[in-house]
Amino acid sequence: MKISPYSQGNENFDLKAKLRADNIFSKYDFYNEVFCNNEIIFSNFKHFVKKYRRKKILIIGGGPSTKGMLEKDYESIFSKYDYLWSSNSFFLNSKLKNIKIDLAMMMLEPNLKSVEFQKYYEKFKPVIGFELHNKWKNYRPAFDEMFMMQTRFYGIIGVCQRMIIFASFIGADTIGFVGLDGLKSMKAGDHSFEKNKKSLPSITNEDTFQYQSDVFWDYINDRYKKPKIVNHGNDVSYHRNLKKRV
């Protein structure tokens, strides 16, 4: 089943995304220096390019390969990267809750008022990112550093893939990833952040998930040829179209 992953619209993304972002975030102090083209929109443009350009970034997802990494010599892998990024409820993991994540994208599920998140935030002060959703219009969170970001490529394969696009666009030198393990592990509730998590994408067809994963890596290979991209996970089937870069 071939369902386009460009769920934010194949045409006029730049216009539609900017109008929606203005509607949701215009009253936020962090909503400035907004960059928008037909592939991506994000705020704080100059800051992010200056901070992350030519840096090594590891993106940590919630799939089971993250647990596998954390059970082994993960510190030697983490030390190879300048920054660690993650998403959603990473702070519930027994090891990650004691490790500084520099940037975290928050979707709709995490409780940002929970004791667990508040304790993590007070200790490490990660940059908090939001995608375009009406939930944030009146949410008014008060974190030290926030931003908004959304990519035209969206689909069902997860926020970490969109973070790979973001890291590629702002000029990261190396992008590693782990815990991007696909639909089978999601259906099994095999999650590294939340035990027995069973919430699933709106589309749960394996062929559709694989198709969108293939399109994602073709998209990355076509548009972002410079970053070295490293899969630290175990399952390579969903990433079969990723070209090795040296």
Percent of the chain with pLDDT over 70: 96
The pLDDT of 197-207, averaged and rounded, is 78
pLDDT at 196 over 80: no
- Domain membership of residue 3 (yes or no) is no
- Domain membership of residue 230 (yes or no) is yes
Looking at per-residue pLDDT, the higher value among 117 and 225 belongs to 117
Number of domains in the chain: 1
Global model pTM greater than 0.85: yes
The residues with which 129 forms a beta bridge, in sequence order, are: 105, 147
The span from the CA of 30 to the CA of 218, in Å, is 33
The span from the CA of 68 to the CA of 45, in Å, is 35
CATH of the domain at 122: 3.90.1480
Residues 6+ positions from 16 with CB-CB distance below 8 Å = 8, 9
pLDDT at 10 over 80: no
The span from the CA of 90 to the CA of 156, in Å, is 19
- Domain membership of residue 180 (yes or no) is yes
- Domain membership of residue 4 (yes or no) is no
Whole-number CA gyration radius for the chain: 17
The residue type at 144: D
- Domain membership of residue 1 (yes or no) is no
What confidence score (pLDDT) does residue 78 get?
A: 98
Q: What is the pLDDT of residues 131-153, one digit of tens each?
A: 999 999 988 788 999 999 999 99
- Domain membership of residue 245 (yes or no) is no
Range scoring the smallest mean pLDDT among 45-49, 103-107, 115-119, 187-191: 187-191
Q: Dihedrals φ, ψ of 165, to 5°? A: -60, -45
Q: How many CB atoms lie within 10 A of CB 237?
A: 10
- Domain membership of residue 8 (yes or no) is no
User: What domain range is 120 assigned to?
Assistant: 13-239
- Domain membership of residue 246 (yes or no) is no
pLDDT at 246 over 70: no
Q: What is the 3-state secondary structure (H, E, C) of 104-157?
A: EEECCCCCCCCHHHHHHHHHHCCEEEECCCHHHCCCCCCCCCEEEEEECCCCCC
Looking at residue 27, the DSSP 8-state letter turns out to be: T
Around 138, how many Cα atoms within 13 Å sit in the side-chain half-sphere?
A: 0
Return the residue matching tokens 């009146």: 138
**Strands (E) located in the chain:** 35-36, 40-42, 56-60, 83-87, 103-106, 127-130, 146-151, 174-178, 228-231
pLDDT at 39 over 60: yes
